[in-house]
């Protein structure tokens, strides 16, 4: 049967196993979120492909782990150089595949992907191990750290290359080999990265990428007996499944999960800076960032002034075609996700919530070819109870809820009143207050008078249902290595 011209023009991805591109028997449709049309075919890999990738990674491990950290660092630097040399091509692909604006891909996602390789290539050279003499016993104790083996890495669809490289870079810098599975909805930039591996000098089998869905490819990877370590970023529900499937093998797990992040805004906050930053923290990347602010608690004396100014600023946060440089937000990832986000707006309305702008109120002005895209305007809601699902569950869209509070203790208690604990922001000029509140908030990251300022040396991860473990400079080094204590009697 001959293929139609439309089928011939589709981008068809291949798995990358043992340094070679390998085609797959069946494929999954991948959509352009800004048009709602299929534009790419992603391998629908299963156990067979994962087994082949694990075998290739296992075979490459002895030689790669025996390389000096400096040799590995050189290769990571070269990968960073190659990403930067192809930045525009990567940015265009990420924007088309994910729905995010070209500006976000160009200025945030792709530069950070290159920096992940740059950062971990050098940070791995600076860690030291422990030494403890016991002279009275005639013994010297010291520790060594060695790579774990084959690392299974599963990355999400919201920051595709950014979060994939956040895992690959420390894993291979520490001497492990990897089998990575990006989201089947956003696989293109991972496939493009594979094309640079040989050029950068990455030996065959050190980095393997298997494309496919969670239930097939992901499941085969996390339950593989020869993958001793899993790093996953995604939903809490998927993490529970990963924990169950990996439990019989006592694997090391790092799970970076959802958030329902509060902003606590006191009356003495610098409102100009606070509103500008909180609009960004609520809506950046269509609100599809695990660190986005979705619950804003404002001290009652400034509540009405804050609300009026925040809504006005939110309306100016333009949602439009991703390729338009003036767009601040692009399209949501999928039709199903758009419907899920809309369902929370409908729930808020049914519970008596007030929609101040956005979904159902503001019409988007989109070109004809984008009318079926998954766009949603920035939406601000008030009048919702803290016990509502709208305030308790991660929506992961351009939606934020605002509520007044009276006392510091009340703000902290309400900030902590969800099952998540990833991040929080606090706004006040009172130094004592920001320290006090930051210490009491149950969150892995707390920003005061700013948002998303990241030092990659510091631990990243969440409390409660927002995850298990931490990644970042030393934490990634510890996660991607095993420590061994050695005692020498002399």
Are 11-258+466-489 and 261-448 equal in CATH topology? no
Our measurement of the distance from residue 320's CA atom to the centroid of its chain's CA atoms, rounded to an integer in Å, reads: 23
Q: Over 80: is that where the pLDDT of 439 sits?
A: yes
Instruction: Taking residues 258-269, report their average pLDDT.
Output: 98
Q: Cα separation of 243 and 238, whole Å? A: 9
Enter the tokens of residue 116: 């992940």
Q: Please provide the average confidence, as pLDDT, over all residues in the chain.
A: 97
Instruction: Taking residues 32-60, report their average pLDDT.
Output: 98
pLDDT for the residue numbered 7: 55
Q: Cα separation of 410 and 242, whole Å? A: 36
Class (C level, CATH) for 11-258+466-489? alpha beta
256 belongs to the catalytic site: yes
Q: Over 90: is that where the pLDDT of 9 sits?
A: no
Q: Nearest 5°: phi and psi at 87? A: -55, -45
pLDDT for the residue numbered 8: 61
Structure-derived torsion over alpha carbons of residues 149, 155, 161, 166, reported in degrees to the nearest 10: -50
Interacting residues of 407 by C-beta distance below 8 A, sequence separation 6+: none
Q: Cα separation of 470 and 478, whole Å? A: 10
Task: Determine how many CB atoms are found less than 10 A away from the CB of residue 247.
Answer: 11
Q: What percent of the chain has pLDDT over 70?
A: 98
Let me know: does 64 contact 175? Beta carbons within 8 Å.
yes
Enter the tokens of residue 355: 């929609």
Instruction: Taking residues 469-476, report their average pLDDT.
Output: 97
pLDDT for the residue numbered 181: 98
The CA distances from residue 172 to 30, 124, 169, 233, in Å, are 29, 10, 6, 18
Confidence of residue 1 (pLDDT cuts 50, 70, 90): very low
pLDDT for the residue numbered 41: 98
pLDDT for the residue numbered 6: 52
Q: Over 90: is that where the pLDDT of 2 sits?
A: no
Interacting residues of 157 by C-beta distance below 8 A, sequence separation 6+: 98, 183, 185, 186, 333
pLDDT tens digits, residue range 225-250? 999 999 999 999 999 999 999 999 99
The CA distances from residue 287 to 38, 172, 320, 389, in Å, are 23, 31, 14, 17
Interacting residues of 18 by C-beta distance below 8 A, sequence separation 6+: 52, 53, 56, 59, 60, 204, 205, 208
Catalytic pick from 49, 256, 288, 394?
Answer: 256
pLDDT for the residue numbered 288: 98
Per-domain boundaries in the chain: 11-258+466-489, 261-448
pLDDT tens digits, residue range 184-201? 999 999 999 999 999 999
Taking domain 261-448, whether its CATH number is 3.40.50.2000 is answered by: no
Q: Over 90: is that where the pLDDT of 283 sits?
A: yes
Interacting residues of 117 by C-beta distance below 8 A, sequence separation 6+: 76, 77, 79, 80, 83, 165, 169
Helical packing angle, 110-123 and 87-98, nearest 10°: 120
Let me know: does 145 contact 479? Beta carbons within 8 Å.
no
pLDDT tens digits, residue range 284-319? 999 999 999 999 999 999 999 999 999 999 999 999
Q: Cα separation of 445 and 436, whole Å? A: 14
């Amino acid at each position: 049967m001959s293929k139609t011209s439309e089928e011939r023009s589709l981008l068809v991805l291949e798995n990358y196993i043992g340094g070679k591109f390998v085609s797959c028997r069946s494929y999954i449709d991948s959509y352009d979120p800004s048009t709602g049309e299929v534009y790419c075919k992603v391998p629908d890999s299963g156990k067979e492909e994962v087994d082949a990738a694990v075998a290739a990674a296992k075979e490459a491990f002895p030689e790669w782990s025996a390389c000096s950290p400096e040799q590995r660092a050189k290769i990571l630097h070269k990968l960073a150089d190659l990403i930067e040399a192809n930045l525009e091509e990567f940015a265009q692909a990420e924007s088309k595949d994910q729905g995010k604006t070209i500006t976000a891909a160009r200025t945030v996602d792709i530069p950070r992907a290159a920096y992940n390789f740059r950062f971990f290539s050098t940070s791995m050279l600076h860690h030291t191990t422990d030494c403890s003499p016991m002279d009275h016993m005639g013994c010297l104790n010291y520790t060594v750290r060695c790579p774990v083996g084959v690392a299974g890495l599963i990355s999400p669809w919201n920051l595709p290359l950014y979060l994939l490289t956040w895992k690959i870079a420390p894993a291979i810098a520490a001497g492990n080999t990897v089998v990575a599975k990006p989201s089947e909805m956003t696989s293109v930039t991972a496939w493009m990265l594979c094309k640079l591996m040989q050029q950068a000098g990455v030996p065959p089998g050190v980095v393997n990428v298997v494309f496919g869905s969670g239930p097939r490819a992901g499941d085969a990877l996390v339950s593989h007996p020869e993958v001793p370590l899993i790093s996953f970023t995604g939903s809490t529900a998927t993490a529970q499944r990963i924990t169950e499937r990996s439990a019989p093998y006592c694997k090391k797990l790092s799970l970076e999960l959802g958030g329902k992040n509060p902003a606590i805004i006191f009356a003495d906050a610098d409102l100009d800076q606070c509103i500008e930053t909180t609009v960004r923290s609520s809506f950046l990347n269509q609100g599809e960032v695990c660190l986005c602010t979705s619950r804003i608690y404002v001290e009652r004396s400034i509540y009405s002034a804050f609300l009026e100014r925040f809504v006005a600023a939110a309306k100016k946060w333009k949602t439009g075609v991703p390729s338009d440089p003036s767009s601040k937000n692009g399209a949501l990832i999928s039709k199903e996700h758009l419907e899920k986000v809309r369902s929370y707006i409908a729930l808020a309305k049914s519970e008596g919530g007030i929609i101040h702008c956005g979904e159902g109120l503001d019409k988007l002005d989109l070109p004809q070819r984008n009318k079926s895209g998954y766009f949603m305007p920035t939406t601000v809601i008030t009048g919702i109870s803290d016990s509502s699902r709208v305030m308790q569950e991660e929506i992961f869209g351009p939606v934020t809820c605002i509520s007044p509070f009276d006392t510091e203790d009340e703000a902290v208690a309400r900030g902590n009143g969800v099952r998540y604990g990833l991040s929080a922001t606090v706004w006040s000029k009172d130094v004592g207050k920001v320290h006090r509140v930051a210490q009491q908030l149950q969150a892995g990251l707390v920003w005061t008078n700013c948002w998303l300022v990241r030092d990659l040396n510091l631990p990243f991860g969440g409390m409660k249902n927002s995850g298990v473990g931490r990644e970042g400079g030393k934490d990634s080094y510890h996660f991607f290595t095993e420590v061994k204590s050695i005692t020498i009697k002399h």
